Chain A
Amino acid sequence: MSGKSEPIATEQIAVHPRSGWIRLALLAVIAAALLLAPQFLYPIFLMKLLAFGLFAAAFNLLLGYTGLLSFGHAAFFGGAAYFTAHAVKVWGWPPEAGILLGVLGAAALGLVMGAIAIRRQGIYFAMITLALSQMFFFFCLQAGFTHGEDGIQSVPRGRLFGLFDLSDTMTMYYFVLAVFILGLLIIWRFVNSPFGMILKSIRENEQRAISLGYSVSRYKLGAFVMSAALAGLAGGVKALIFQFATLTDVSWQMSGEVILMTLLGGIGTLAGPVVGAGLVVTLQNYLATSDFPVTIITGVVFMVCVLVFRRGLIGEFFASKLGRKIGFRAEN
């Protein structure tokens, strides 16, 4: 979102001379934690966390780095889950091909929705993506292959490349972890490429980017398709984790959830959406057994975040003295 928010403190903080090493060590600790986590925590829960983390990171590619608020990302996430589930279950495709179909399907959806939505900016863009994804929801409700309210159930996980049996929970976990890391690497590479820089310039000042000769709508569409495809990757994997695909994943509530994850963790940071997803998923897990509706908490957290906590957790950390000492930079 473009910049009229509070300015970042400008007083100089000397970056620690070994900040690079510190950040590398931090990364190593996280990697080790992810590798060992299934020994201590319920693997399905961890896989859900990774899938939603990737989904939120893909969404953030659009909101955080291009400044476009999509209110319809559930269409790509849930759509891909349907495509993957259908290909694997009905056509008997291997899991990698099923996920690839999910990614391509989501990208195609993104191309169509994006081409329509980028004709308006700002708030209209959000409303249009919401309306288009609701249209897709009704399509899924009525189309034959989605099985309406029942969804596609008992999807087999199959054997990855014909070698690894994914019905084994641990094998599945490491597969999901690999996809997650791959997805984040793609996003990181994308954001730090010349293409990503141009996207940031569009976010900061669209008019100036146009005057510099960039075809802004083409770049926006590119980012939209990229974000949709990665959301599709997360959705396809999610269908294999839970072995079903349902209407929940294409509903507008899901689009709202991914916004909350990103906002809570920190818009425009790589790690923020993942952390936000972790928090939201944990909260849902915790409340799943009580009859207290999650939406009340979700709604209140939303309001609090928007009112007083717009940088999100990771954003606040990056902007703090400690964060800047280690060499992180907070974006506005």
Chain B
Amino acid sequence: MTMIFGIPVQALMGQLLVGLINGSFYALLSLGLAVIFGLLRVINFAHGAQYMLGAFTALLLLTMGGVNYWLALILAPLIVGLFGAIIERTMLSRLYKLDHLYGLLFTFGLALAIEGTFRYFYGASGMPYAAPGALTGAVNLGFMFLPIYRGWVVIASLIVCLGVWFLIEKTKLGAYLRAATENPTLVQSFGVNVPLLLTLTYALGAGLAAFAGVLAAPVYQVSPLMGSNLIIIVFAVVVVGGMGSILGAIVTGYLLGVVEGLTKVFYPEASNIVIFVIMAIVLILRPAGLFGKDA
């Protein structure tokens, strides 16, 4: 058996893949957080709950309406995005003129309420969601077996991340968004409907979280609490990356996922906390984060 640093290649590659998959979710979620924060200046604590909502929507669409995975991958983000838009319009938008901490507290309450409701109706245990037939099985890469669905997760998240990056950095709508981030009053005076832009942005962020949730459903179990511990890790990812840059959020997400996977190989006891440790080190050396612009 081939060994690298005294570790079998299969184990190393296996954990690297697990890390890459976790990294895909970190990247998708921290991207959504960064997009929302960039324009709304709200840290969306409900992001984990929206991720869970995405997975649940896919599951319920399947069990109640017989909607398959591929359609759910499009429908669930739309439904959760709409839900997000309603929340933003009716409640969250009232808090913009206050201290930003109120937005954090509001979305924290929202997350508790959503997760509590689902736990009440569906219990705390996980429910399986089968991967679509086309993506089951595995391919032999020579040095290891790659389950096809896991490969798909990495590719799908990469495509979506790059798509969002393109939308924000290269399109006209994205230019409005970036301009509104810089100076909302001025952009509004040019006749751009900034409040609508804010609603759309929140819906986009929520939709991204839901997309990640649908992707995650066949990998992890669908459970009401699947997002609540994840979101704290994603917060750490966002602090490490700095919220100034979209690309920074994506890169940091993948990077930390891989680091976490490798830690599982070399020092498993620390794999739960390695991201937090990195966060602490980055804060000491570079408080603005790796890609952050603000001091």
Contacts and interface: CB of A to CB of B under 8 A. Distances in A.
Given A116-B283, A116-B284, A302 B105 contact: yes
Contacts of A120: 239, 283, 287
A153 interface: no
Contacts of B120: 291-293, 296
Contacts of B284: 116, 119
B279 to A, nearest CB: 6
A119 B239 CA distance: 12
Interface string A229-249: 000000000000000000000
A306 B283 contact: no
Give the secondary structure class of A's interface.
helix
Contact of A300 (B104, B109, B279, B283): B109
A124 interface: yes
Contacts of B280: 116, 132, 135
B162 interface: no
Given A131-B279, A134-B276, A303 B101 contact: no
B235 A131 contact: yes
A122 B113 contact: no
Contacts of B109: 298-303, 305-306
A122 B232 contact: no
A294 B100 CA distance: 26
Interface residues of A, number: 46
A256 interface: yes
A131 B105 contact: no
Contact of B279 (A128, A138, A259, A298): A128
A307 interface: yes
A120 B233 CA distance: 18
B113 A299 contact: yes
Contact of A303 (B91, B99, B117): B91
Contacts of A298: 109, 112-113, 116
A128 B233 CA distance: 11
B238 interface: yes
Contacts of B110: 299, 303
Interface stretch (A1-9, A46-54, A99-107): A1-9
A131 B106 contact: no
B83 interface: no
Contact of A302 (B94, B112, B117): B112
Contacts of A300: 109, 113
Contacts of B287: 119-120
A2 B99 contact: yes
B102 interface: yes
B159 to A, nearest CB: 28
Contact of B232 (A2, A124, A134, A259): A134
A295 interface: yes
B101 A131 contact: no
Contact of A306 (B105, B116, B276): B105
B283 A296 contact: no
Contacts of B100: 122-123
A44 interface: no
A277 interface: no
B63 interface: no
Interface string A31-70: 0000000000000000000000000000000000000010
A126 interface: yes
A130 interface: yes
Contacts of B117: 296
Nearest to A122: B100
* 5 tightest Cβ-Cβ pairs between the two chains A and B: A302-B109, A299-B113, A299-B112, A295-B116, A296-B116
Interface of A: 1-5, 69, 116-117, 119-120, 122-124, 126-128, 130-132, 134-135, 138-139, 141-142, 252, 256, 259, 263, 291-303, 305-307, 310
11 contacts: A5-B98, A293-B119, A293-B120, A296-B116, A296-B120, A298-B109, A299-B109, A300-B109, A303-B91, A303-B106, A307-B106
